[in-house]
Amino acid sequence: MIVLVACITGSTVNAYSSEIIEVTSPIVKKHNNIITVAALADQEIVAELNDPPPVAEDEMKSRGDVFGHRYGKFHAQARIKGEWTDNLYNVTHDQEDNLLTTYFAGLAYTTPERNMRPLHIALNNTSPGGLQFAQPHNRFYNKSQFYVGGHLEYRNYSLNSDLNMLAGDVEGMAQYNPSPKLSFILTDKFAYDQDQFNRTNATSDNQRIYGNNLFLASAAWQISSKFATTLSYDNYTLVYDNDINGFLDRADHGFDFYFYYDYSPKTNFFVEYRIIQSVYDEQDQGYDKDSTSNYLFGGINWQSSVSTSFSGKAGYQDKTYDSDQYQDQNNKGAFAYQLQWDWLMTDKSSLLLKTTYSTEETDTLAALFKSVWSNRLGFTHRFTNRLRGDMQFIYENSDYDLLEDLSRTDDRYFFDIGLQFAFYKWLSLGAAYTFDMKDSNIDLLDYETNYFQLMLTGKI
């Protein structure tokens, strides 16, 4: 699979999502730039602008006991969004237009007080372990940090009211630093949503609604001024509402180990070993897809200047299936990598470039797994203090390992551009346009879809 992305103010239900965890302690602030490599999956994506980087005032508020104890802070957000599309089900023939109206309400609480959410997790069903990327940015200088948040959104489809649904999520984080050199973090997220509409995923007859949950426990230890290490455990579960989709239900258990060497104040090198076991609940039609994946990487984190940073890792991955029927697929090692470049071009413009390659779990009954090559480009520009623009471009190539003697390769192109105008600090209006296209060697899977969006957001 290949992906190339840029960020946008508002995006469609059928767009891409960035799987990001942003959570860091003073110990791991330089080290956990890359934790999980996976590509963007061919499923629903919620592309929403991340919170801006923390400012000095927010850093002061996050320290807890600067001028007496601070008792945390509530964050609330409400949004109404209208989205018109000319091809709701992402099909080649018999395309149908739809107006999707979404009513969104979210609430979060942090203590000590912070002006922004300290955690961002986006789950991806086909990525082993449930994550595409894990890239911490926030730095917590207080001894402990607690966060809990969630949202509900009601979706109303003009074309077919049977598709209407209530989606939502709940997430939380607890961090404790018993000493300046040791940090422990627990995180958890549960989400209830549906897959993207297309012929091999969600359809009008099978909406593919699911619940997924990710639990993470990690410890970071600054061994010396030059060496540090982190160890984490993750548990990811995926369960679909309809029994017809039971072949996708699974649980992933994994361990991730990092060892870092600080070459200079701006550069560190690391090695990573990761193991993930995927256990499927249902063995459909005699296919036993339980497997164990191993990853070995070497990487670098480089802060070349105040405005430019680079991080990357490359290495080897293999996948071994429990069943003897997949002997041809066992121990097929593959090259895997992830590279990311961030550039603050001016005080008003920023650029993000990512490229990855990895193997993911299947999203269709006909395939055992899929290989994904993705490239992502994002650009954000602040025209004035009230007006901001965002652009996103993705190119994604997915190569499926089919169970039968067939082949399937999908090329997907995704473009997203939007503007956001702030009437006040707490009220903004956004507009966006999205183009999504898939070109497959199986003609029936091709589609071209346009989306037009308008949204009003209020937050405190």
Percent share of the chain, pLDDT over 70: 80
Predicted confidence (pLDDT) at residue 412 exceeds the cutoff of 80:
yes
Between residues 415 and 201, the one the model is more confident about:
415
3-state secondary structure of 90: coil
Per-domain boundaries in the chain: 56-347
**CA 277, CA 96: separation in Å to the nearest integer?**
41
Predicted confidence (pLDDT) at residue 20 exceeds the cutoff of 80:
no
Phi, psi of 377 (to 5 degrees): -130, 130
Q: Mean pLDDT score of the chain, rounded to an integer? A: 82
Predicted confidence (pLDDT) at residue 137 exceeds the cutoff of 50:
no
* DSSP element (H, E) containing 57: helix 56-62
**Any idea how long the chain is?**
460
Predicted confidence (pLDDT) at residue 66 exceeds the cutoff of 50:
no
Q: Tokens 């002997």 sit at which residue?
A: 327
417, 8 Cβ separation under 8 angstroms: yes
**Other Cβ atoms closer than 10 A to 101:** 14
Residue pLDDT, tens place only, 242-263:
988 988 999 999 999 999 999 9
* Overall pTM surpassing 0.85 (yes/no): no
Predicted confidence (pLDDT) at residue 365 exceeds the cutoff of 70:
yes
Query: In sequence order, which residues have a C-beta less than 8 Å from that of residue 312 and are 6 or more positions away?
Result: 34, 299, 300, 337, 338, 339, 340
Class of residue 100 by CB neighbours under 10 A (exposed 0-12, middle 13-18, buried 19+): buried
Residue spans of beta strands (DSSP E) within 265-366: 267-280, 291-302, 308-321, 334-343, 349-361
The CATH number assigned to the domain with range 56-347 reads 2.40.160
Task: Looking at mean pLDDT, say which of 125-129, 130-134, 186-190, 334-338 comes out highest.
Answer: 186-190
Residue pLDDT, tens place only, 308-361:
999 999 999 998 888 877 766 665 678 999 999 999 999 999 999 999 898 899
Residue pLDDT, tens place only, 278-314:
999 876 555 678 899 999 999 999 998 889 999 999 9
Between residues 285 and 432, the one the model is more confident about:
432
**CA 370, CA 399: separation in Å to the nearest integer?**
5
